[in-house]
A = this chain, B = another copy of it.
Amino acid sequence: MRYLPLTPEDRSAMLARVGVDKIDALFESIPANKRLSRNLDLPLRRAEMDVQRLLSDMASKNRAAGSGPFFVGAGAYKHHIPASVDHLIQRSEFLTSYTPYQPEIAQGTLQAIFEFQTQVAALTAMDVANASMYDGSTATIEAVLMAHRITKRRKAILSGGLHPHYAEVVRTISRMTGDEVSSLPPDVPGAENLGAEIDAGTSCVVVQNPDVFGNLRDLSGLAAICKAQGALLIVAFTEAVSLGLVKAPGEMGADIVVGEGQSIGNSLNFGGPYVGLFATRSKYLRQMPGRLCGETLDAEGRRGFVLTLSTREQHIKRDKATSSICTNSGLCALAFTIHMSLLGEAGLRRLAKINHANAVDLADRLRRVPGVEVLNQSFFNEFTVRVPVRADALIERLAEKGVLAGVPASRLWPGESLDDLILVASSEVNTDEDRRAFVKALKGALSC
């Protein structure tokens, strides 16, 4: 087998050194009646060529985002990733290394993490960021739990503009921990009064910006109310590119910022792996979950980087840890950092501006389609439209016409009577032609 270097002769020689005559002698600690004596009912080994064929056949049944006009967002976004990003993260030394527990021979990974932490802190306008979480949704529940630890309160208020999957993750874990969650109903116009929900038992308010319907929210007032009530403001985002054009959570008074970093450097991947971003104020540092990289000196006084403050982590603190997370999204974070280094401030701002321009253009075209209404006052690169038919069926019809036109709200909020809404996203990858194709297909679908 091509991945197994030992030859039959090697195995014999090694068994001899070990002092047993057959390999099964080494498995005798497994109860005899539980040992498998033959192969399981699965295919036998295959040539690389055959595996390639097997998987390529499956892949070819899927409609790739890049194969036609594509406007699906709602938590994951199609962006162009520079070719050098994938080249660099595939370097053996990044791809096949472990968590940098031996810093002397892991400075590459560690320095990249330090750059990542600095970038995330700058983007969110917060003091400190960790080395990544699994994704935006798991970062959100970690933020809620962190707020509970800090405030010693146990109730979270979830905005009706929070991605419903994020809300569901928070509710799921909270049910287990016995913490209280108050979820507000879907807030299409982004007009809910969150401040009014806060009481003395409120640990935190979780609000998303741009919210899941695309509305931009000025959170400064809410931050002030939170502060007054002793609750923490947790701001989530699902579209990291928005931070190039939209006021940062830290600028509006957030205590903890969490978000999905997929948009920068990472492919859609049908939902994973992605990279969760997590940032907070310095004063809350020791309640922060996840890995942290810090600067230090080596024995010769040269700058170097190490994992630090690991007394918060499970491998040291076990049941007292701030989180159970171990493996995080290291390589996705590296992709994020490389892509962000390539963009730089000027590139990110321009990328964000193009996204916004494309979305504005699309919204303006869609609102001119009879029967279609764009609901947003403000938005970044995603907005909500009302259509005069069932949105889910319409989306299927548009897909048949070659346009992947967005996410029907009913897919995210089944049973919430949002059946005529579609979340529509547009990024730099959409051409004018793509947008025209969307409008044309939409008109066609609505007229039949």
Whether the Cβ atoms of A49 and B80 lie closer than 8 Å is yes
Query: Could you say which residues of chain B place their CB within 8 Å of the CB of A90?
Result: 87, 90
Whether the Cβ atoms of B80 and A48 lie closer than 8 Å is yes
Does A83 sit within 8 A of B, measured CB to CB?
A: yes
Query: Could you tell me which residues of chain A, from 77 to 100, have a CB within 8 Å of some CB in chain B?
Result: 80, 82-83, 87, 90-92
Does A374 sit within 8 A of B, measured CB to CB?
A: no
Query: Could you say which residues of chain B place their CB within 8 Å of the CB of A342?
Result: 2
Query: Could you tell me which residues of chain A, from 1 to 17, have a CB within 8 Å of some CB in chain B?
Result: 2
Whether the Cβ atoms of B83 and A429 lie closer than 8 Å is no
Does A428 sit within 8 A of B, measured CB to CB?
A: yes
CB distance from A374 to the nearest CB of B (A): 26
CB distance from A423 to the nearest CB of B (A): 24
Q: How far is the CA of A92 from the CA of B92 in the complex (A)?
A: 11
| Interface size in chain A (residues, C-beta < 8 A) | 15
Q: How far is the CA of A392 from the CA of B82 in the complex (A)?
A: 43
Query: Could you say which residues of chain B place their CB within 8 Å of the CB of A82?
Result: 48
In the complex, residue of chain B having the shortest beta-carbon distance to the beta carbon of A51: B83
CB distance from A63 to the nearest CB of B (A): 15
Q: How far is the CA of A49 from the CA of B92 in the complex (A)?
A: 26
Query: Could you say which residues of chain B place their CB within 8 Å of the CB of A83?
Result: 48, 52
Whether the Cβ atoms of B49 and A429 lie closer than 8 Å is yes
CB distance from A314 to the nearest CB of B (A): 34
Query: Could you say which residues of chain B place their CB within 8 Å of the CB of A49?
Result: 80, 428-429
- Contacts from A to B (Cβ < 8 Å): 2, 47-49, 52, 80, 82-83, 87, 90-92, 342, 428-429
Shortest 9 CB-CB contacts between residues of A and residues of B: A49-B80, A48-B82, A49-B429, A48-B83, A48-B80, A49-B428, A87-B90, A91-B92, A2-B342
* 14 cross-chain CB contacts under 8 A: A2-B342, A47-B80, A48-B80, A48-B82, A48-B83, A49-B80, A49-B428, A49-B429, A52-B80, A52-B83, A87-B90, A90-B90, A91-B91, A91-B92
